[in-house]
Amino acid sequence: MLWSRSVCGEFGSTPDADLLRVGDDFYGTCFGGGAYDRGTVFRMKSDGSLVWSRSFDGTNGSNPEAGLTLGKDHDLYGTTAYGGANGSGAIIKVGKSGTIGVLYSFSGGRDGAVPVAGLVQGSDGSFYGTTKYGGLNGNGTVFKLTPVGSLTSLYSFGTVATDYGRSLDGSYPVGELVEVSKGCFYGTTSRGGIYEGANTDIGTIFKINSDGVFTSLYSLSLTEGAFPCCRLVQGADGKLYGTTQLGGSADTFSFGYGTSFRITTNGTFTSLFSFHGSDGAFPCASLTIGKDGSFYGTTAGGFYSPGTVFRFSIIRPILIITSPHHARPVTNKEMIVTGKAKGRSPVIGVMVKVNDGNWADATTSDGWTNWTASVTLEPGANIIRAYASDTVGDLSHTNGVRVFFIDPHDENRRRTQNHFSLSP
């Protein structure tokens, strides 16, 4: 242990958020403690020595639940869930020496209230975030803030609602946004959604651009997960990964122990696995991608411990082309391509194409252990490519072979057939 202080102490207590590393130092927040018991922001060295700690007093914010974000100007930006001029939360700017400035105080009305999540600085230089409450309907907002403190409310949740008040587009966002492409952000809401019965009001996944164009991508069902509260992370495959606090397929607890999921940027959802208590329960922190490409995370509970650390990997299916052989000249325009495919999850299809042509379905009679496809070659060099897909939406790497079609009716090509040399 590098550093510890007493609960409700001068330096802060309940440090719930992630640390931010800048150079050799770390910056963080505490929800409570400090001189006024409203939380603190601090800077510490990697050896655990404290550089400074500053207390929130209410007017400069109160009770931060999120960590800080490093701005392009090298200052630090963040949110406090409460405090500010109106007591409904604030957006703050923190200098490297510990000065705290309030950029914006939420009114608790149309502009939002209780910003639980941290900020993300977009490619346009503005900061983007959410409030858990407030907005036009009281269900939370998405906002944009310029570095000088001009706030624009981009969207109010509950805009799409049933006649009895259920928010179909989501309610109460508590996780940070993530910018996946220029001006395009993704996030989650902890409540709301379009399902009925037991699946009502348990969370959504959404997309919003910097101009406020909003799309509700997916509404969760109880077996897929319930109450997502963390930031989505983008994998190397371009898809987004996250966790839910409750829900899943475990039947020993009626609300489930939580799940991990994946969603594409256009809204195709895959439930990856459910926690069962013995392997952890109630994940509420964002995933982290390790150098090995695996995803790492934590759970807040479990059968035999007060929490766990877990890891999972996405294992792609494997595809090989067994015929034709690479760099082989052929004299038949029509060719049968053969190969094998297998995966951790069942393979459900193989796609094949020649050169820049269209992808076409291969066929199989034994569950894709062996597959075949008919292709038509073009005169000269041809590259035949193929990939496999499985039941959870994972794709194999695209495999390819090069063959050279020599038309037997082309006299010039036939005469020089033996002079062709194909590079692997």
CATH number of 318-419: 2.60.40.650
pLDDT tens-digit readout, 329-381 = 888 999 999 999 998 788 999 999 999 999 999 998 778 889 999 999 999 99
pLDDT tens-digit readout, 161-202 = 765 667 899 999 999 999 999 999 999 999 999 876 655 789
Backbone angles phi, psi at 54, to 5 degrees: -120, 140
Strands 399-405 and 328-330 turn out to be parallel
pLDDT tens-digit readout, 243-264 = 999 988 865 556 889 999 999 9
CA distances from 113 to 72, 88, 181, 188, 371 (A): 26, 5, 27, 17, 57
202 CB burial (10 A radius; 0-12, 13-18, 19+): buried
Greatest CA separation found in the chain? Answer: 92
Instruction: Return the closest-CA partner of residue 66 out of 22, 17, 112.
Output: 17
Q: Work out the average pLDDT over 220-235.
A: 92
| Residue 307 confidence (pLDDT) | 87
| Eight-state DSSP code of residue 18 | P
**Edge-to-edge strand list for the sheet holding 233-234:** 233-234, 240-244, 259-263, 269-274
What distance lies between CA 301 and its chain's CA centroid? 22
Judged by DSSP in three states, 413 sits in: helix
pTM of the model: 0.81
| Residue 166 confidence (pLDDT) | 79
| CA-derived radius of gyration, the chain | 27
**E strand or H helix at 94, and its extent?**
strand 90-94
Burial 245-274 (b: 16+ CB within 10 A, else e): bbbbbbeeeebbbbbbbbbeeeeebbbbeb
366 CB burial (10 A radius; 0-12, 13-18, 19+): exposed
331 CB burial (10 A radius; 0-12, 13-18, 19+): middle
* Residue extents of the structural domains in the chain: 220-314, 318-419
CA distances from 353 to 137, 297, 364, 385, 398 (A): 51, 39, 16, 5, 11
Judged by DSSP in three states, 417 sits in: helix
Strands 120-121 and 127-131 turn out to be antiparallel
356 φψ region: left (φ > 0), alpha (ψ -120 to 50), beta (else): alpha
Q: Work out the average pLDDT over 294-315.
A: 86
Stretch among 2-6, 72-76, 164-168, 395-399 having the lowest mean pLDDT = 2-6
> Which band of pLDDT confidence, cut at 50, 70 and 90, is reported for residue 2?
low
> In the Cβ-directed half-sphere of 120, how many Cα atoms lie within 13 Å?
22
